[in-house]
Amino acid sequence: MGSHRFMRVWIVFLLVLIFPLPGFGEVTCQTMIIRGQDYTESIFYDDGKEVARVKQFVKGKVEKQGEVPDGQVKFKDSYRQTYGEEYYRGGRKMVSPALIMPTGS
């Protein structure tokens, strides 16, 4: 009987680790290209408050300011005209976007 309880606790732990709990704020990301620059800039917001900036240079260099929150991030990429959801862990994108659509703009 103790092993079943352990297994249930372990499964709940894994689910919480993999999927963020609701109610901790929506994390969004806006990606844009700055005219005359050789990078795209992604700005991450948690409940509307800026928490991180990531510059991705054409030659592969990456500059980060702040911490990208773990879990689901809703993104809008004005450079590629797409939006959808991505998942981050440890500041890195973990899964391909769940949904990518043209923004129509």
Chain segment 19-56, per-residue pLDDT in tens: 554 445 789 999 888 788 889 899 999 988 999 999 98
- pLDDT of 23: 43
Cα 31 → chain centroid: 11
pTM (2 decimals)? 0.66
Give the N- to C-terminal CA distance of the chain in Å, as an integer: 58
